[in-house]
A and B are shown apart, each in its own frame.
Chain A
């Protein structure tokens, strides 16, 4: 199990990448910052960076709206 944004419990899977998590959460907004256990993940590493079981993941969405 991983915890997203200090609130949502998400079932962990072996080899789960940041991109996999974003897809599962339907997080499609482009202005996001992803931190895994406190470390910012560069955008280009989303498809390859795996998330360990039990991780604390923050997906910070910047403000949108017209």
Chain B
């Protein structure tokens, strides 16, 4: 594992980069090609779903159900209550599954 402080520092630098980058790009360029823009817009959807996908498939059924459940809960509630209810449901499902 890399030095944790190096990792933290680079993540902080990267975060500052995206928070200032949009402003600088708009100031100097104005517009970008529509395919690049569509690709940039898709970055969070594509990478985050790729990150979560194996969890849904490789853990047990309670975990898979909990992931689907929390998405459905987010239709009705904001992030924090959705997570709280899903965590509660997961704890109960794990009891039932006997793990």
Judge: A and B partners, yes or no.
no
**Chain A residues packing against B (C-beta within 8 Å):** none
